[in-house]
Structure 1
């Protein structure tokens, strides 16, 4: 998989939607799979918040 700006834009958009909407567990897992190969602070932030949402913990930045 190539790491292009377009790919990152798609992955970050999908992760953002999974956080903002009532995403199913499968959608959250898929977003985590897409984020897995990416590095950087933004990917880490999305990954951390999605893992918390998947585990049923508070996931907003105010709760960290």
Structure 2
């Protein structure tokens, strides 16, 4: 699991982008990426986190 400051920054960014998504769906990919990064950062297993990070890289492609 990553440090608490990193997770707090991801959560704050996710909240802000959620507001933007409500206004315009063009921001949905950013929301999905932040959500996936947050999930990866809070996973207790390094294997699960690696899987999530691979999924993030696929979203970016």
The TM-score range, normalised by the shorter chain, is: 0.5 to 0.7
Q: Does residue 35 in structure 1 map to residue 20 in structure 2? A: no
1:16-27 to 2 correspondence within 5 Å? Answer: 24-27=6-9
Q: What is the CA RMSD across the aligned residues, in angstroms?
A: 1.6
Structure with bigger helix share is 2
Which has the higher relative contact order, 1 or 2, with Cα contacts under 8 A spaced 6 or more apart?
A: 2
1:3-59 superposed Cα distances (whole Å, 9 cap, x missing partner): xxxxxxxxxxxxxxxxxxxx7000000001111111222x10110001101111222
Runs of 4+ in 1 over 6 A off after TM superposition: none
TM-score normalised according to structure 2 size: 0.55
Task: Identify unmatched segments of 5+ residues in structure 1.
Answer: 1-22
